[in-house]
């Protein structure tokens, strides 16, 4: 697959950001997020009008005003001066089915992205970048990248859903995003976790970032039924140490709003030694994983009601995971479920 970028531009909000919103200080959970981008690639049939995508993006950006700004890492804040979101147009020399088929490799999708997953936090770099790639069959891939410094997967889903509403002419206020996470979790000037050197695609270099491997697993109905059968039979298998991301939205007391933008996750860690994992059955493993997720969900209720002790509950899960991820002697699997984040409803 060959992807040729045809144009690059900056899309600014259709309405200037008010002066009193020009400075956005991130939360302490944002501070602890890795220096990467949260990414999604959506595929569409022929017929999308790129100009309409640009216009609807400009229309929705006032609601998501920090995304048009630039991150200032020295003071853990976003300069929301409407510098603009990056918008790229590209041409692909193959059919769209060649990409979304089960045989496509994860690394083959990199050129469909507006930037690499691991990107620097330079003050000139857009926090939001979008690439619209057109295939030979006139099918379209729209990739959206938001800096993990200010957004998690739920936030990405909020933005894409709101953008789709604007593109269809629906009510743009249906998803009322709120940039008030720092009110619940004020910044503490934590240094960003270090997982290795980073870089952008524009640098045209390949810089190693820790030992992270991407794999694609496609499960058909038969495979899922077979997996369920193994769980019911209690067969053994070798396991490593998985960690599950748990959203804290609507789980705290008082509840953090559903559409609160930012990194709002706790991490449920399940640790297994090689010896334990080797002889553990599916049933035992699923039960252990479920118990840890359940405990993390229960702990979410204490995060805001217990003051600093509650904040410590949240910080300990994130800092503990970051330390283990940076340990080259451990194999860490991060599990998250994007099925309920609105991506299936973003038809255009």
pLDDT of residue 102: 62
Q: Does residue 344 sit within a domain?
A: no
pLDDT band at 73 (very low <50, low <70, confident <90, very high): very high
**Sheet holding 85-92: strands in order across?**
3-11, 85-92, 128-134, 140-147, 37-44
* Tens-digit pLDDT profile for residues 177-211: 789 999 999 999 988 776 554 444 443 333 344 56
Asked whether residue 239 falls in the same domain as residue 182, the answer is no
| More confident site: 130 or 213 | 130
Q: Total domain count for the chain?
A: 2
* Tens-digit pLDDT profile for residues 258-301: 999 999 999 888 877 666 666 677 777 778 888 888 999 999 99
Q: Does residue 21 sit within a domain?
A: yes
Boundary of a domain, candidates 190, 213, 236: 213
Boundary of a domain, candidates 167, 192, 213: 213
Boundary of a domain, candidates 164, 196, 213: 213
Asked whether residue 54 falls in the same domain as residue 128, the answer is yes
- Beta bridge pairs of residue 269: 243
CATH of the domain at 73: 3.30.559.10
Average model confidence (pLDDT) across the chain: 85
Asked whether residue 207 falls in the same domain as residue 242, the answer is no
Asked whether residue 177 falls in the same domain as residue 248, the answer is no
Tokens 């200037």 sit at which residue? 16
Whole-number Å distance between alpha carbons of 211 and 326? 9
Q: Average pLDDT for residues 249-255, to the nearest whole number?
A: 93
Q: Does residue 345 sit within a domain?
A: no
CA 276, distance to chain mean position in Å, is 32
Asked whether residue 123 falls in the same domain as residue 13, the answer is yes
Buried b (16+ CB within 10 A) or exposed e, 40-53: bbebeeeebeeeeb
What's this model's pTM, rounded to 2 decimal places?
A: 0.86
Asked whether residue 246 falls in the same domain as residue 113, the answer is no
Q: Does residue 297 sit within a domain?
A: yes
Q: Which domain holds residue 285?
A: 221-335
């Amino acid at each position: 697959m060959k992807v040729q970028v045809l144009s690059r531009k900056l899309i600014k909000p259709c309405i200037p950001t008010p002066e009193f919103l020009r400075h956005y200080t991130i939360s302490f959970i944002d501070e602890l997020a890795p220096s990467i981008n949260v990414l999604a690639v959506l595929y569409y049939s022929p017929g999308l009008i790129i100009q309409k995508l640009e216009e609807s993006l400009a229309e929705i950006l006032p609601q998501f005003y920090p995304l048009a700004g630039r991150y200032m890492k020295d003071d853990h804040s976003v300069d929301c001066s409407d510098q603009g979101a990056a918008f790229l147009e590209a041409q692909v020399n193959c059919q769209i089915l060649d990409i979304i088929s089960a045989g496509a490799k994860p690394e083959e999708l990199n050129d469909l992205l507006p930037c690499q997953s691991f990107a620097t936090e330079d003050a000139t770099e857009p926090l939001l970048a979008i690439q619209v790639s057109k295939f030979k069959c006139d099918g379209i891939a729209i990739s959206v990248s938001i800096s993990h410094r200010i957004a998690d997967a739920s936030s990405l889903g909020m933005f894409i859903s709101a953008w789709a509403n604007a593109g269809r002419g629906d009510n743009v206020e249906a998803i009322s995003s709120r940039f008030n996470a720092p009110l619940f979790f004020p910044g503490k000037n934590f240094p960003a976790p270090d997982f290795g050197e980073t870089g952008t695609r524009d640098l045209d270099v390949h810089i190693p970032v820790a030992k992270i491997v991407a794999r694609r697993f496609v499960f058909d109905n038969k495979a899922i039924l077979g997996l369920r059968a193994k769980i019911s039979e209690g067969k053994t298998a070798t396991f490593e140490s998985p960690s599950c991301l748990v959203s804290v939205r609507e789980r705290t007391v008082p509840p953090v709003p559903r559409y609160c933008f930012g990194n709002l996750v706790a991490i449920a860690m399940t640790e297994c030694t090689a010896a334990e994992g080797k002889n553990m059955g599916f049933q035992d493993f699923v039960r252990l994983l479920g118990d840890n997720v359940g405990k993390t969900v229960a702990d979410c209720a204490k995060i805001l009601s217990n003051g600093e002790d509650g904040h410590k509950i949240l910080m300990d899960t994130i800092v503990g995971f970051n330390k283990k991820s940076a340990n080259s002697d451990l194999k860490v699997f991060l599990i998250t479920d994007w099925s309920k984040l609105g991506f299936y409803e973003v038809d255009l």
